[in-house]
Amino acid sequence: MRSVRARAALGATLVVAVALVLAGLAVLTVLRGNLTDRAGLEAEVAAREVAGQIALGVPYTDLELGDEETRPVQVTDEAGRVVAVSQDLEAISGTGTGAVAPAPSAPARNDDDDDDDDPARSQVSSGAPDFANGSATVDGESADYRFAAVEVTTERDVTLTVHAGAPLAAEQEAVGTVRTAMLTGLPLMLLVVAGVTWLVTRRALRPVEGIRRELAAITASEDLARRVPEPDSRDEIARLARTTNETLAVLEASVDRQRRFVADASHELRSPIASLRTQLEVGQAHPELLDVPGAVADTVRLQGLAADLLLLARLDAGERPGRAVVDLGALVREEASQRPADRMPTEVTVADGGSCEVAGSRSQLARVVGNLLDNAQRHAEGSVAVTVRREGGEVLVEVVDDGAGVPPAERERIFERFVRLDDARSRDDGGAGLGLAIARDVAARHGGTLTVGAAPGGGARFTLRLPAAPGPGGSGRRPG
């Protein structure tokens, strides 16, 4: 059964069926119990009436045994012998003995020696009577009865037991009527429940079908700009539709970013490859005109661009950084010392009094520091200053230059891939626009941040924040 509607309807029907059956059984049990108790009360009243007559000394033959047509009565002594029975009683069960006629050896009278009667010695048992179900045949008609047994002691200290029965026909008829009504109404009610559940589920799942159709159309057309319909309700289906549209939006943005990345990468790779090819072709035709330094420079630039693209691909694939402990102060000094002498002079200051160790990949963090230094030296006019210090549970690296700075409106855009603010800058001097994008991605992978602001004396100030490495030196959080 693959239909959710069918499963829901079947499940609801089964639950309701079980509930109705249990409720019906409970109703029948309570009804049967109440009617049986009522019949027992009637039987007890009839038995106590007869027992009262015996206690008053009424002869057995003169006992008024109630409505003999519907109330079978049997009186037995301690030995179980019958001393009196109601008229027309032909058979009886459930009273301990099936005799329907007085035994010859039983006392024939209850009034011998009237002068010696002592009514004070006659008494009816005040305890709870005993009840039992049985049957009796009165005047040729058999029926089920509820019998009550009441003990009575005569003036001669003889204990007799009066068994009186009340018919159970009303109880049986009522229970049968209720059972028939339940058996008749249960299937109809289950059909109604199944139908209503089917319709309600169908209506509730109608938006889901619309979402499915739209997703199928998006898959067939590969048009990620389309969105699934969102119902006006505020239920789980509406939240599912909104989440689906949010996922489609993220997917569309990711695909667009990937397409732009591929296009920009192709464009950036085309220039050095074309330049290198031109130089090699010229050198092949005219060896004396071969520009070896230019070819080497283009090859180095092409190699660096390929390395940047490879790192971005690994970052986009979710590569996690290592867990090595890196001293950022020593790393910054090392990267600054490796810069060519003709670059802008860089002053490195490492604050004392705190550990500057972080956890992560040394090579990736070196790439971040190197990209920040390259960017600062490229835009500085006279000097570059780098400060490394500990601040709470974080290690800060600030790179400040005295260049023109970054306009506030462009401070987030410069971290996008292949973005360069100075369009007039030559590609050989300006890079491919991947350095800051790589730096921010690596910082984020290490649980840190990279932001840009204005330096106090003008220029740009890039601030790298990374969680300090846990251990004796601090209690920083691990990179994410």
Task: Per-residue pLDDT tens, the chain, 480 aa: give them.
Answer: 567 778 888 888 899 999 999 998 999 999 999 999 999 999 899 888 888 888 888 888 778 876 545 679 989 988 888 888 888 888 988 888 888 888 776 555 555 444 444 544 567 776 778 899 999 888 888 889 999 999 988 877 888 899 998 998 888 889 999 989 988 888 999 899 888 988 888 888 888 888 888 899 988 988 888 888 888 878 888 888 999 999 999 888 888 877 877 777 777 777 778 878 888 888 888 787 777 787 787 787 788 778 878 887 777 777 777 788 999 999 999 998 888 766 778 889 888 766 789 999 898 999 899 999 988 988 888 889 999 999 888 999 999 998 888 888 888 888 887 776 654 344 445 566 788 888 998 999 899 999 999 988 788 999 999 998 886 544 444 444
Tokens encoding 139: 């005047």
How far apart, in Å, do the first and last CA atoms of the chain sit?
A: 45
Q: Which of 323, 337, 269, 334 is nearest to 447 (CA)?
A: 323
Buried b (16+ CB within 10 A) or exposed e, 116-151: ebeeeebebbeeebebbebbbbbeeeeebbbbbbbb
Question: With the C-alpha atoms ordered 278, 279, 280, 281, is the resulting torsion angle positive or negative?
Answer: positive
What DSSP designation does 424 have?
T
DSSP reduced 3-state for 226 = coil
Q: Kindly report the pTM of this predicted structure.
A: 0.51
Confirm if 305 and 432 have CB atoms less than 8 A apart. yes
Taking the C-alpha atoms of 383, 389, 395 and 397 in order, what is their torsion angle to the nearest 10 degrees? Answer: 0
